[in-house]
Structure 1
Amino acid sequence: MSPDIETQIRACEARLYAAMRASDVAELDALIADDLLFAGPTGDLATKAMDLELHRTGGTQFHEFVLKELEIRVWSDRFVLASAKIFLSGTYLGNAFAGDYRYMRVWRKGENGWQIAGGSVSAIV
């Protein structure tokens, strides 16, 4: 629809990756909507508060983070779907992981700018 919106979302995705790698809770707080619903690799639903707490306490740590592809679909001037294939390694609740993962994210533009309102992640096997 608008290359400008796609450019904005690519910039938001880049900010998100940097914040995830660094467990930058303040930046994650700015990028994630308060009403987030996110399905993790086990299928369990997570909220914004749960995600921020995992980063705050070290429950989630990323050691490697390599973006392999990013597809953007602009649905409207307020809603965008992003699909990213990322190689990740790190720990989650003390368990090591490494591999390719597919993230699906719904970005919504509101009074706080672009924020993630929903999404999921799954391992690519």
Structure 2
Amino acid sequence: MDTKIQIEALEERLIAAMKGSNVAELDALLADGLIFTNHNGHLITKQDDLQTHSSGKLEIYSIDISAQLIEVLDSNTAIVSVVKNLSSEYDGHVSVGIFRFTRVWHFNGSQWQVVAAHSSQLVS
């Protein structure tokens, strides 16, 4: 299967897992050594992300994608840049805005996983 098509499908799985706080799916899609810098500049680990989703304090109301670029570097690495209109609530605080996410997907020999990510808020 074409790598770009695989990454598109993985991105769809990731969005669905985020929306549904599907911790098992997120655990499979995120590398153990994940480095994620959020829009506030905070470093988030895989365990931090899984804890946020499993806590029940996060509810994602909507994630709408308006632009996506996938750059396949080689058979093991791809970079995704995507713009998302995101509406969520965490621990009683509502967040609505347009964000750009950059993710690095890496094939570790058995599966594709996100190894690094960064988000920036474009519009609040």
Judge same fold: TM > 0.5, yes or no: yes
Runs (4 or more) in structure 1 with deviation over 4 Å come to none
Aligned with residue 78 of structure 2, among 73, 77, 80: 80
User: For residue 7 of structure 1, what is the aligned residue in structure 2?
Assistant: 5
Name the TM-score, length of structure 1 as normaliser.
Answer: 0.94
Q: Distance in 2 between matches of 1:81 and 1:49?
A: 22
Cα drift, residue 92 of structure 1: 2.5
Aligned twin of 1:110:
108
Cα displacement (A) at 1:94: 2.5
Q: CA deviation at 1:43?
A: 0.3
Query: Please, which moves more after superposition, 74-83 or 59-68?
Result: 59-68
In the alignment of these two chains, the number of paired residues is 123
1:18-70 CA-partner distances (Å, limit 9, x unpaired):
00000000000000000000001110101000000000002332101111111
Matching of residue 69 in structure 1 with residue 67 in structure 2: yes
The offset of 1:85, in angstroms, is: 0.5
Instruction: Name 1:92's counterpart in structure 2.
Output: 90
Structure 1 unaligned spans of 5+: none
Q: Indicate the residue corresponding to 2:34 in structure 1.
A: 36
1:52 maps to 50
Distance 1:51 1:112, change over 3 A: farther
SS at match of 2:75: coil
Query: Which piece of structure 1 moves more, 92-101 or 11-20?
Result: 92-101
Where structure 2 has 5 or more consecutive residues not aligned to the other structure, the ranges are none
Q: TM-score, normalised by structure 2?
A: 0.94
- 2:120 is equivalent to residue 122 of structure 1: yes
RMSD: 1.2
Letter in 2 for 1:26: A
